Structure formats: structure tokens, C-alpha cells
Amino acid sequence: MAQPINQAMIAQHGKLIDSRGVMGAVEVYNDLLNKGYNYAGWAKGVAEANGWNSSEPEIRGSITGRAAVMFMKDSSGRDFSDRELNEIRIDMARGYLAALSQNIRDGGGKTQADIEFDQMREFHKDVFEKHNLSINNWTLETPMKFIGAYNGGEAAQEKKWQELAKTQGDGADALIASAA
């Protein structure tokens, strides 16, 4: 189980993102991941991702993180400047903190609960729309629609998300779970 977090920690994390941008978001994800919040591993991989531009000297971020960025680019038919991509990353980090903040309010001042699928989908939808994208530009949208429609609705989506979340978005287990 994750370590408890509270609103003061969320506020601290928000200030770190405000002052350091994407690097602050990566630091926030590292901290939350170390505290047992599995979504942070997936998000960290996207925040660190590069490698879609062959002129870049090194490839960073997880394979799943780079795949998510490439999917967003390919499915939208858009090229993103570093500035645009970083704005999306920062808004996603803020969306994650807002969802955790809601869990803290629901938990009476602290939480050990990471986000659920519907929370994650909601902030992805909001951020994508803010940046003139569609929720269909999110890697999990279509597979989760099928899981919901053909394998048991929202409960099946949540179960699958929890299985994916446990992999923290990195390593062979994340690739296998993503492919499945």
C-alpha cells in the first residue's frame, strides 16, 4: 500500500512543477512513485520521453512513455514543438495532482489511494481538449473502450487499469501488460 499523502504535500508538489516545469513534474513523479503511487511511473515515462527526433543525442524515458508520445503525435497528425509538448506534460502533472487532491478530500485529509481509471481518463480528456487534441489521441482510450464494451463495463476497465498500474509503466512487465 502507498504511503499516506496530504494536501500540504500536494501543494509542495504543485510549487515544484510551477518553478521547474517538466523537470519539476519528473521530480514529483519520482517522489510519488517512491511512495507507492504507481501511476507516477507511467507518467514519469511520458514526462521524460524523447527519441522521436533522430537528431536527439540520447533516448530518454520508458519505452511505454515514448510510445505514448508517438501515439499522440501519429494519431493527431501533428508535430509538437518542445514547448507544446512540455505544456501538455505540465498540465498532465497538474491533473494528476488534482485527482490525488480529490482522493485526499474524500479520505478526510490524507490518502493512500492512487487514482482510478475514470479519474485518469477525465484529466487526460481535459488536458487533451485544452491542447486541441481528442481523448482518442490517448493510448488507453480505444483499448479501454473495448474492455468496457465487451468485457464487463467500468469494473473491467478499473481492474485492467489496476493490473497495468502495478507495472509502473517500465520494464518487460509493462510492455507485456500494454500489449495484452
User: Could you read off the pLDDT of 72-110 as tens digits, one per residue?
Assistant: 999 999 989 889 999 999 999 999 999 999 999 999 999
Q: What is the distance between the alpha carbons of residues 164 and 157, in angstroms, rounded to a whole number?
A: 10
Helix (H) or strand (E) holding 5: strand 5-6
pLDDT at 56: 54
86-to-3, 11, 69, 93 alpha-carbon distances in Å = 28, 20, 11, 10
Strand partners, 87: none
3-state secondary structure of 174: helix
Nearest CA to 62 among 74, 80, 50?
50
How much is the pLDDT for 62? 77
- Of 14, 34, 31, 165, residue with least CA distance to 91: 14
This prediction has a pTM of: 0.91
Amino acid 1: pLDDT: 84
Give the CA-trace dihedral at 161, 164, 167, 37, to 10 degrees: -10
Which regions in the chain score pLDDT beneath 70?
Answer: 51-60, 171-180
In angstroms, the CA 153 to CA 170 distance is: 27
Domain coverage including residue 107: 5-179
What pLDDT shows up at residue 52?
54
Return the pLDDT at 54. 42
For the chain, the domain total comes to 1
> Rounded to an integer, what distance in angstroms lies between the CA atom of residue 180 and that of residue 176?
6
The string over 67-93, giving b where at least 16 C-beta atoms fall within 10 Å of a residue's C-beta and e elsewhere, is: bbbeebeebbeeebeeeebbbbbbbbb
